[in-house]
Every structure is written in structure tokens, then in C-alpha cells.
Amino acid sequence: MTTASLSAADAAAAVLSNNYGHRDLCLVRGEGAQVWDNTGRRYTDLLSGLGVNNLGHCHPRVVAAIQKQAETLLHVSNLYLIEPQIELARLLVEHSGADKAFFCNSGAEAVEAGIKLSRRYSKEKHGEGKHKIVALQNSFHGRTMGALAATGQEKYHQGFEPLLEGFVHVPINDVEALTNAVDASTCAVLFEPVQGEGGIHPVSVEFAQEARRLCDKTGALLIFDEVQCGLGRAGHLFASEEFGVEPDLIALAKSLAGGVPMGALLMKDHAAELLTPGTHASTFGGNPLAAAAGVAAFLTIIDDNLAERSKRLGEMFRAQLNLMKTKHACIKEVRGRGLMIGVEMTGPVAGLLSKLRERGYLAGSAGPNVLRFLPPLIVNEDLLLGVLPALDDCLTVSLENHS
């Protein structure tokens, strides 16, 4: 560890809560798909701030929009009309199939809004006793109490019980279990089209279409949590393009404003009409600065056709990883959609991540045994493929050390 990074780590330990554990890498600058630490060392960022930096770091179009808006109007409350917010909502509605948008500050808040709206919709449309929400095992929807209850991983629940009641969890892509779980007491079915934190598991077309059919049959709302997998990350602008079904609600966040905190819940009119004045709100949601950044980020995704680029580069990258799988038995499976890729190993990946970092590549994990790659959608092929020899070398050295 360098003196400079040790100093930052010590300073952090003295004044910051320890909920992120020990950290010793201090990143101070970013450009495109690369970042630099406080010693001047450069890294290729293949995690994108956990899926936030889809446009890479400091995209010129987003930076220009932020600079212009910061010199004009930083914040006013939602008691007033906000021009960039209206424009961003128009763009999202035009491209998603939704009718209305509600803005907040994070993915957890977007999911929370979807949970609240589902309960309210059900009570107003169907009366009492219909508040069950069917979600998926191994899912992750956020850290607020509602989103936590929806999350299908007990490790995130521990110590925070009792949770919000009324949630049941079924295995991903188990159509029979889904059919058995959705009944007259169900107000919503909620899932990530590609599970992120749970290990990069895509939902099948059959499962998504059955969820839509069951929701139509029972009067429940279908909610897609596209916080991580949406906006081009998984090879489509929105997941409905792959499934051929439209959800009633879509939760967005992460890359929505190009690195500025922002979330959104997109809604069909029949659900949005229940968000009457005073039923829900966010002080900062959709404020001028975040919305201006969001407009610039969304237009860049559209104009530069980044969803298609994500799909093409993702297929190429997964093909190369599958070639590596034939050489290294420790690779169990390569999976994902677009540039949302998981590599499941036979053992923990923490040590492997450290070795990749030593070679100048930042990746992440999705559970203890899955390498998670979420490179910026603007990454060039040379930078993306550059990690492959490094990964190959790490796995070869590891095998030699254990033989």
C-alpha cells in the first residue's frame, strides 16, 4: 500500500462508518473507461461504479449539461415546474411504453415507490386483502425497508427484522412456482429482468410472459426493476424489448443521470392516476441539476445507439470468456445479457479480484463465487478484451500455486 493511499484509508477509518468494510484504493480522476488513483496509477474500470457509469467517466455531453445547469438553477422544489424534468420525462415515456414518470434519487426509492403504488392501486381498485407481492429468490431491490423485504436474500434481512410483511419469493424462471404463488391476494409481481447482485441471472422470456398473463388475470401490477439492467446495460434500452411484454411499472436509477444521483418510476396511466397530490413525494427528485444530466445521458444512449453496442460487445466478450472456460476448469459458467456479465467460479473470487486489480483492472463480485463485469457501454474493444490475458494469467498462476 502506498503512503498516499494509506493516508486516505486512515482518514476514512477515523470519520466514516464501516458499512463498506476496509478500503485502500482512492480514485481521484476518471475519463472514459479509465480511472486514476491518488498515486497516479491508471486502471481500466470494468465495474462502472456498480453500473452507474454507462457513459464512462466525465462524459463531455453530461459534463457540459451539468456545467450549464449549475450556472442557471441548481434546485427548486417540486412545488414548481422544472423544464429539464419535463423534458426527461417526455423522453423516457416516448421510448419506454410508459405514460408517466415520477422522479426520486436512487433505485431503492424507485422500487419503494413501486411497492407503495402497488398497494395503493390494489386497495383503491380491488378493496382490502390484496397486498401480497411476489418477488424472486436471490433478488436484490435495495436497502430501504420495503425494498429490503422484496429482496430475496436472507443475508440482507438479518438484524433488520421484522420486515414489511406480505412478500413471497419464488425461484427465478420457475413458471409453476410463479403460477402457484400469484393468486387473488396478489397486488404485484416484481423482478429484475437480469438479476444483478444475485449473481447475473437473466429471466427467461417464458417466465416474463407468464408473469404478465398472471397479472392480467388477477388484476395485479407487473413491476420490472431495471435499476441495473436497464438503459442499454443488458443490450436493450428496456427489458420489454426482449420479453415482448410491457410492465405496468419500471424502476430506473444508476446510469439514469450519467453519474448524478437520480431514480425514476415509470408508470402506465392506470397506475399513475393513483399517485394523487400528497400521496408520495421526493424533495430532491428530478431537480434541475439531476434532470439536466439525465436528459444529456439519455440522449447520448439513444444517439450513440449504446444499447446495440452493449449487446454486440457483450456477445463478443462472453464468447471469449467461454473459450477461456475450456482451458480453466475453475470456470463453471459464463452468463449475462449485453455488458452485464457474470463468470461463476468453483470458489470465492475475492482473491482473483485483487490480482486483477494488481494488473490494472477493476471488476466486482455478485455473490462470493461470481465475477461481475459491468464495463461502460462506451468502452472500446481493446480495453475490454485487454482484461482477458490478465484473467487468463491470474487463473494459470492460481492453478500452478495449487498443483
**Which residue in the block uniquely carries the three cell numbers 462502472?**
48
pLDDT at residue 398 is higher than 80: no
248-265 mean pLDDT = 98
Q: Note whether 200 and 366 are within 8 A (CB).
A: yes
pLDDT number for residue 7: 84
Confidence of residue 5 (pLDDT cuts 50, 70, 90): low
Q: Which amino acid is at 78?
A: N
pLDDT at residue 78 is higher than 70: yes
Q: Note whether 390 and 359 are within 8 A (CB).
A: yes
Per-residue pLDDT of 90-144, as tens digits, reads 999 999 999 999 999 999 999 999 999 999 999 999 999 999 999 999 999 999 9
Per-residue pLDDT of 382-397, as tens digits, reads 999 999 999 999 999 8
Per-residue pLDDT of 160-189, as tens digits, reads 999 999 999 999 999 999 999 999 999 999
Range in 75-79, 199-203, 322-326, 393-397 with the lowest mean pLDDT? 393-397
The residues pairing with 189 across neighbouring beta strands, listed in sequence order, are 134, 222
Q: Which amino acid is at 237?
A: L
Which residues 6+ apart lie within 8 Å of 82 measured at CB?
76, 286, 287, 288, 291
pLDDT number for residue 402: 63
What span, in angstroms and rounded, lies between the C-alpha atoms of 158 and 361?
33
What span, in angstroms and rounded, lies between the C-alpha atoms of 149 and 69?
37
Burial class (CB in 10 A: 0-12, 13-18, 19+), 229: buried
253-264 mean pLDDT = 98
Grid cell listed for 379? 468502452
Per-residue pLDDT of 214-234, as tens digits, reads 999 999 999 999 999 999 999
Range in 115-119, 172-176, 236-240, 337-341 with the lowest mean pLDDT? 236-240
In the chain, what is the straight-line distance between the N-terminal and C-terminal CA atoms, in Å? 29
pLDDT at residue 212 is higher than 60: yes
The residues pairing with 133 across neighbouring beta strands, listed in sequence order, are 167, 188
For 168, the enclosing helix (H) or strand (E) is: strand 167-170
Which residues 6+ apart lie within 8 Å of 308 measured at CB?
235
Percent of the chain predicted with pLDDT > 90: 95
pLDDT number for residue 179: 98
pTM assigned to the model: 0.96
pLDDT at residue 399 is higher than 90: no
Per-residue pLDDT of 290-329, as tens digits, reads 999 999 999 999 999 999 999 999 999 999 999 999 999 9
**Which residue in the block uniquely carries the three cell numbers 486489480?**
357
Confidence of residue 240 (pLDDT cuts 50, 70, 90): confident
Confidence of residue 207 (pLDDT cuts 50, 70, 90): very high
pLDDT number for residue 350: 95
Per-residue pLDDT of 19-68, as tens digits, reads 999 999 999 999 999 999 999 999 999 999 999 999 999 999 999 999 99
pLDDT number for residue 146: 97
